[in-house]
Amino acid sequence: MNTIIQLVISGLLIGSIYALMSIGLTLIFGVLRVVNFAHGEFLMIAMYGAWAFSKLLGLNPYIAAIAVVPAMFLFGALVYRLVIGSALEKPHLVVVFATMGLSIFLQNAALMAMTADLHDVPPIFGRSISVGHVFIKGELLLGFVITLACTIALRWVIKYTFLGKAIRATVQDGEAAKLMGIAVPKIFLITFAAGSALVGLAACVMLPLFSVFPTVGLNFVLIAFVIVVLGGMGSIEGALLGGFCVGVVQSVGSYYVAPAFGQLFFFVLFLLVMIFRSNGLFGQKGAATLGMNE
Protein backbone atom coordinates (compact mmCIF):
# COMPACT_ATOMS: atom_id res chain seq x y z
CA MET A 1 0.00 0.00 0.00
CA ASN A 2 2.78 2.39 0.89
CA THR A 3 4.46 1.60 -2.38
CA ILE A 4 1.39 2.61 -4.35
CA ILE A 5 1.03 5.86 -2.44
CA GLN A 6 4.70 6.60 -3.01
CA LEU A 7 4.40 5.83 -6.69
CA VAL A 8 1.28 7.94 -7.12
CA ILE A 9 2.73 10.90 -5.28
CA SER A 10 6.00 10.74 -7.20
CA GLY A 11 3.95 10.39 -10.35
CA LEU A 12 1.88 13.45 -9.58
CA LEU A 13 4.96 15.52 -8.86
CA ILE A 14 6.90 14.50 -11.94
CA GLY A 15 3.68 14.85 -13.88
CA SER A 16 3.36 18.46 -12.84
CA ILE A 17 6.81 19.13 -14.21
CA TYR A 18 5.92 17.38 -17.45
CA ALA A 19 2.87 19.63 -17.50
CA LEU A 20 5.00 22.75 -17.12
CA MET A 21 6.98 21.74 -20.16
CA SER A 22 3.75 21.17 -22.11
CA ILE A 23 1.88 24.36 -21.31
CA GLY A 24 3.87 26.29 -23.91
CA LEU A 25 2.95 23.75 -26.56
CA THR A 26 -0.75 23.84 -25.79
CA LEU A 27 -0.80 27.63 -25.65
CA ILE A 28 0.84 27.87 -29.06
CA PHE A 29 -1.59 25.40 -30.51
CA GLY A 30 -4.59 27.05 -28.96
CA VAL A 31 -3.74 30.44 -30.44
CA LEU A 32 -1.79 29.75 -33.62
CA ARG A 33 -3.30 26.38 -34.43
CA VAL A 34 0.13 24.96 -35.19
CA VAL A 35 2.02 22.16 -33.55
CA ASN A 36 5.65 23.07 -32.98
CA PHE A 37 7.44 19.82 -33.71
CA ALA A 38 10.68 21.42 -32.50
CA HIS A 39 9.24 21.87 -29.03
CA GLY A 40 11.54 19.23 -27.54
CA GLU A 41 14.56 20.97 -29.02
CA PHE A 42 13.49 24.27 -27.51
CA LEU A 43 13.54 22.48 -24.18
CA MET A 44 16.96 21.03 -24.93
CA ILE A 45 18.41 24.43 -25.87
CA ALA A 46 16.98 25.95 -22.71
CA MET A 47 18.41 23.15 -20.60
CA TYR A 48 21.85 23.72 -22.09
CA GLY A 49 21.41 27.41 -21.39
CA ALA A 50 20.48 26.75 -17.79
CA TRP A 51 23.40 24.36 -17.43
CA ALA A 52 25.87 26.86 -18.91
CA PHE A 53 24.56 29.59 -16.67
CA SER A 54 24.90 27.36 -13.60
CA LYS A 55 28.38 26.23 -14.52
CA LEU A 56 29.67 29.68 -15.38
CA LEU A 57 28.26 31.57 -12.44
CA GLY A 58 28.09 28.79 -9.90
CA LEU A 59 24.41 29.45 -9.33
CA ASN A 60 21.69 26.86 -9.19
CA PRO A 61 19.40 26.39 -12.19
CA TYR A 62 16.38 27.88 -10.46
CA ILE A 63 18.17 31.21 -10.22
CA ALA A 64 19.32 30.76 -13.79
CA ALA A 65 15.69 31.12 -14.78
CA ILE A 66 16.12 34.87 -14.48
CA ALA A 67 18.31 34.77 -17.55
CA VAL A 68 17.00 31.68 -19.31
CA VAL A 69 13.32 32.64 -19.43
CA PRO A 70 13.83 36.03 -21.13
CA ALA A 71 16.47 34.50 -23.40
CA MET A 72 13.99 31.84 -24.51
CA PHE A 73 11.36 34.52 -25.05
CA LEU A 74 13.71 36.25 -27.48
CA PHE A 75 14.67 32.95 -29.06
CA GLY A 76 11.01 32.14 -29.65
CA ALA A 77 10.41 35.54 -31.16
CA LEU A 78 13.38 35.04 -33.48
CA VAL A 79 12.17 31.64 -34.63
CA TYR A 80 8.71 33.07 -35.22
CA ARG A 81 10.09 35.91 -37.33
CA LEU A 82 12.39 33.70 -39.38
CA VAL A 83 10.38 30.54 -39.84
CA ILE A 84 6.90 30.29 -38.36
CA GLY A 85 5.47 33.64 -39.43
CA SER A 86 5.87 33.11 -43.15
CA ALA A 87 4.93 29.46 -42.92
CA LEU A 88 1.52 30.32 -41.49
CA GLU A 89 0.00 31.56 -44.73
CA LYS A 90 1.20 28.56 -46.66
CA PRO A 91 -0.41 25.13 -46.81
CA HIS A 92 -0.46 23.44 -43.43
CA LEU A 93 2.25 21.05 -44.47
CA VAL A 94 4.82 23.77 -44.63
CA VAL A 95 4.68 24.49 -40.91
CA VAL A 96 4.86 20.79 -40.14
CA PHE A 97 7.93 20.24 -42.25
CA ALA A 98 9.52 23.53 -41.28
CA THR A 99 9.27 22.76 -37.56
CA MET A 100 10.42 19.19 -38.15
CA GLY A 101 13.39 20.57 -40.06
CA LEU A 102 14.04 23.02 -37.27
CA SER A 103 14.04 20.13 -34.82
CA ILE A 104 16.74 18.29 -36.74
CA PHE A 105 18.68 21.52 -37.23
CA LEU A 106 18.74 22.31 -33.51
CA GLN A 107 19.60 18.75 -32.49
CA ASN A 108 22.61 18.69 -34.75
CA ALA A 109 23.71 22.22 -34.04
CA ALA A 110 23.76 21.24 -30.37
CA LEU A 111 25.64 18.08 -31.26
CA MET A 112 28.29 20.09 -33.03
CA ALA A 113 28.59 22.67 -30.28
CA MET A 114 28.35 20.50 -27.20
CA THR A 115 29.15 16.94 -28.37
CA ALA A 116 26.97 14.02 -27.38
CA ASP A 117 28.18 14.01 -23.78
CA LEU A 118 25.61 14.16 -21.03
CA HIS A 119 25.74 17.20 -18.82
CA ASP A 120 24.02 17.74 -15.53
CA VAL A 121 24.11 19.78 -12.39
CA PRO A 122 24.79 18.46 -8.93
CA PRO A 123 21.72 17.82 -6.77
CA ILE A 124 20.42 20.97 -5.14
CA PHE A 125 18.68 19.44 -2.17
CA GLY A 126 20.38 16.90 0.05
CA ARG A 127 18.16 14.12 1.26
CA SER A 128 14.59 13.59 0.27
CA ILE A 129 11.98 15.11 2.49
CA SER A 130 9.83 12.53 4.18
CA VAL A 131 6.17 12.96 4.86
CA GLY A 132 4.93 9.99 6.76
CA HIS A 133 6.05 6.91 4.82
CA VAL A 134 6.51 8.83 1.60
CA PHE A 135 9.81 10.23 0.40
CA ILE A 136 9.73 13.30 -1.78
CA LYS A 137 12.71 14.73 -3.60
CA GLY A 138 13.10 18.42 -2.96
CA GLU A 139 13.57 19.15 -6.65
CA LEU A 140 10.28 17.48 -7.47
CA LEU A 141 8.39 19.38 -4.80
CA LEU A 142 9.83 22.72 -5.84
CA GLY A 143 9.00 21.94 -9.46
CA PHE A 144 5.43 21.14 -8.46
CA VAL A 145 5.10 24.43 -6.60
CA ILE A 146 6.55 26.41 -9.48
CA THR A 147 4.18 24.73 -11.91
CA LEU A 148 1.13 25.54 -9.81
CA ALA A 149 2.25 29.14 -9.37
CA CYS A 150 2.83 29.42 -13.09
CA THR A 151 -0.56 27.99 -13.98
CA ILE A 152 -2.33 30.35 -11.63
CA ALA A 153 -0.37 33.31 -12.96
CA LEU A 154 -1.18 32.39 -16.54
CA ARG A 155 -4.87 32.02 -15.79
CA TRP A 156 -4.83 35.46 -14.21
CA VAL A 157 -3.10 37.01 -17.22
CA ILE A 158 -5.49 35.42 -19.68
CA LYS A 159 -8.57 36.35 -17.72
CA TYR A 160 -7.81 39.84 -16.48
CA THR A 161 -5.25 41.57 -18.65
CA PHE A 162 -5.81 43.23 -22.00
CA LEU A 163 -3.23 40.92 -23.57
CA GLY A 164 -5.13 37.95 -22.25
CA LYS A 165 -8.37 39.25 -23.69
CA ALA A 166 -6.70 39.93 -27.01
CA ILE A 167 -5.41 36.37 -27.04
CA ARG A 168 -8.85 34.96 -26.29
CA ALA A 169 -10.37 37.09 -29.01
CA THR A 170 -7.81 35.87 -31.50
CA VAL A 171 -8.50 32.28 -30.55
CA GLN A 172 -12.23 32.65 -31.02
CA ASP A 173 -12.23 34.58 -34.26
CA GLY A 174 -9.03 35.86 -35.85
CA GLU A 175 -10.85 37.86 -38.54
CA ALA A 176 -13.08 39.63 -36.07
CA ALA A 177 -10.13 40.33 -33.83
CA LYS A 178 -8.31 42.00 -36.72
CA LEU A 179 -11.35 44.14 -37.43
CA MET A 180 -11.42 45.18 -33.79
CA GLY A 181 -7.92 46.55 -34.12
CA ILE A 182 -6.07 43.66 -32.58
CA ALA A 183 -2.78 43.12 -34.34
CA VAL A 184 -3.20 39.42 -34.79
CA PRO A 185 0.32 38.74 -36.11
CA LYS A 186 1.67 40.49 -33.05
CA ILE A 187 -0.48 38.30 -30.81
CA PHE A 188 0.87 35.26 -32.60
CA LEU A 189 4.42 36.49 -32.09
CA ILE A 190 3.89 37.19 -28.41
CA THR A 191 2.17 33.86 -27.83
CA PHE A 192 4.88 31.93 -29.57
CA ALA A 193 7.57 33.77 -27.65
CA ALA A 194 5.70 33.32 -24.37
CA GLY A 195 5.30 29.62 -25.04
CA SER A 196 9.03 29.41 -25.57
CA ALA A 197 9.68 31.33 -22.37
CA LEU A 198 7.55 28.81 -20.49
CA VAL A 199 9.68 26.04 -21.94
CA GLY A 200 12.68 27.94 -20.58
CA LEU A 201 11.19 27.89 -17.11
CA ALA A 202 10.47 24.17 -17.43
CA ALA A 203 14.08 23.58 -18.45
CA CYS A 204 15.39 25.22 -15.29
CA VAL A 205 13.11 23.03 -13.19
CA MET A 206 14.02 19.87 -15.12
CA LEU A 207 17.79 20.27 -15.20
CA PRO A 208 18.26 19.22 -11.55
CA LEU A 209 16.34 16.04 -12.38
CA PHE A 210 17.47 15.10 -15.88
CA SER A 211 20.76 15.25 -17.76
CA VAL A 212 20.95 17.24 -20.95
CA PHE A 213 22.27 15.93 -24.26
CA PRO A 214 21.47 16.84 -27.87
CA THR A 215 18.62 14.37 -28.37
CA VAL A 216 17.01 14.75 -24.94
CA GLY A 217 14.19 16.66 -26.63
CA LEU A 218 12.97 13.57 -28.43
CA ASN A 219 12.22 11.82 -25.16
CA PHE A 220 10.20 14.70 -23.85
CA VAL A 221 8.42 15.97 -26.91
CA LEU A 222 6.32 12.88 -27.27
CA ILE A 223 5.42 13.08 -23.58
CA ALA A 224 4.46 16.71 -24.13
CA PHE A 225 2.27 15.76 -27.08
CA VAL A 226 0.51 13.07 -25.10
CA ILE A 227 -0.19 15.53 -22.30
CA VAL A 228 -1.43 18.22 -24.63
CA VAL A 229 -3.79 15.91 -26.44
CA LEU A 230 -5.04 14.33 -23.23
CA GLY A 231 -5.69 17.68 -21.67
CA GLY A 232 -7.25 19.13 -24.78
CA MET A 233 -5.38 21.30 -27.22
CA GLY A 234 -5.38 24.84 -25.92
CA SER A 235 -6.39 24.13 -22.34
CA ILE A 236 -3.87 25.10 -19.68
CA GLU A 237 -5.73 23.36 -16.86
CA GLY A 238 -6.02 20.37 -19.14
CA ALA A 239 -2.26 20.29 -19.58
CA LEU A 240 -1.82 20.19 -15.81
CA LEU A 241 -4.28 17.33 -15.41
CA GLY A 242 -2.89 15.56 -18.43
CA GLY A 243 0.54 15.86 -16.87
CA PHE A 244 -0.70 14.26 -13.68
CA CYS A 245 -2.19 11.35 -15.62
CA VAL A 246 0.96 10.74 -17.60
CA GLY A 247 3.20 11.06 -14.56
CA VAL A 248 1.22 8.55 -12.57
CA VAL A 249 0.88 6.10 -15.47
CA GLN A 250 4.60 6.21 -16.12
CA SER A 251 5.50 5.95 -12.45
CA VAL A 252 3.24 3.00 -11.76
CA GLY A 253 3.87 1.35 -15.13
CA SER A 254 7.63 1.57 -14.86
CA TYR A 255 7.60 0.03 -11.43
CA TYR A 256 5.40 -2.93 -12.13
CA VAL A 257 6.63 -3.62 -15.63
CA ALA A 258 9.99 -2.75 -17.19
CA PRO A 259 10.73 0.95 -17.74
CA ALA A 260 10.45 0.60 -21.50
CA PHE A 261 6.94 -0.65 -21.06
CA GLY A 262 6.21 2.40 -18.94
CA GLN A 263 6.72 4.35 -22.14
CA LEU A 264 4.62 1.90 -24.09
CA PHE A 265 1.72 2.35 -21.70
CA PHE A 266 1.38 6.00 -22.23
CA PHE A 267 1.59 5.79 -26.00
CA VAL A 268 -1.19 3.23 -25.81
CA LEU A 269 -3.03 5.60 -23.46
CA PHE A 270 -2.60 8.34 -26.04
CA LEU A 271 -3.99 6.20 -28.82
CA LEU A 272 -6.93 5.14 -26.65
CA VAL A 273 -7.71 8.76 -25.91
CA MET A 274 -7.55 9.49 -29.63
CA ILE A 275 -10.03 6.76 -30.34
CA PHE A 276 -12.54 7.54 -27.64
CA ARG A 277 -12.17 11.09 -26.55
CA SER A 278 -10.21 12.91 -29.20
CA ASN A 279 -10.99 16.31 -27.75
CA GLY A 280 -9.12 15.34 -24.63
CA LEU A 281 -10.54 15.68 -21.18
CA PHE A 282 -11.04 19.44 -21.39
CA GLY A 283 -10.62 20.44 -24.98
CA GLN A 284 -13.07 22.28 -27.20
CA LYS A 285 -15.46 20.14 -29.14
CA GLY A 286 -14.33 19.64 -32.68
CA ALA A 287 -10.75 20.48 -31.82
CA ALA A 288 -9.70 17.12 -33.16
CA THR A 289 -10.94 17.86 -36.63
CA LEU A 290 -9.13 21.17 -37.01
CA GLY A 291 -6.51 21.11 -39.61
CA MET A 292 -6.48 20.31 -43.29
CA ASN A 293 -9.84 21.33 -44.60
CA GLU A 294 -10.03 24.75 -43.04
Partner 1 sequence: MPQRGQISWFEIVLFTSCVIWVAFGFAPALQDVVVLSFLFAGLALAWNIAGGCAGLISFGHAAFFGIGAYTSTILFQSHGITPWLGIFAGAAAAAIGGAVLSLICARLKGPFFILSSLAFAEVVRIIALNWSSVTGGAEGLSIPPVPDVANMVLGSKPAYEALTLIYLILAYAIMRWLEASRFGFYLFAVRDNDDAAAAAGINPLMVRSSAMALSAALTGVGGTLFAQYFLYLDPTYVISPELSFQFALLPAVGGLGTAIGPILGSFLITPLSELLRANLGNAAAGLHLVIYSAGLIVVMLYFPSGIAGALEKLKSRKPRP
Nearest approach, Cβ of residue 78 and partner 1 (Å)? 14
CB closer to partner 1 out of 36 and 147:
36
State the residues that interact with partner 1 by CB under 8 A.
29, 34-35, 83, 86-87, 90-94, 96-98, 100-105, 107-109, 111-112, 115-116, 214, 218, 222, 225-226, 229, 233, 258, 260-261, 263-264, 267-268, 270-271, 274-275, 278, 288-293
Nearest approach, Cβ of residue 265 and partner 1 (Å)? 10
Nearest approach, Cβ of residue 287 and partner 1 (Å)? 8
CB closer to partner 1 out of 2 and 293:
293
The Cβ of residue 119 has, within 10 Å, a number of other Cβ atoms equal to 17
CB closer to partner 1 out of 116 and 179:
116
> How far is residue 109's CA from residue 79's CA, in Å, rounded to a whole number?
15
| Region of residue 118 (left: phi > 0; alpha: psi -120 to 50; beta: else) | beta
Nearest approach, Cβ of residue 28 and partner 1 (Å)? 11
> How far is residue 148's CA from residue 144's CA, in Å, rounded to a whole number?
6
CB closer to partner 1 out of 98 and 206:
98
> How far is residue 193's CA from residue 56's CA, in Å, rounded to a whole number?
26
CB 6 within 8 A of CB 211: no
| Region of residue 223 (left: phi > 0; alpha: psi -120 to 50; beta: else) | alpha
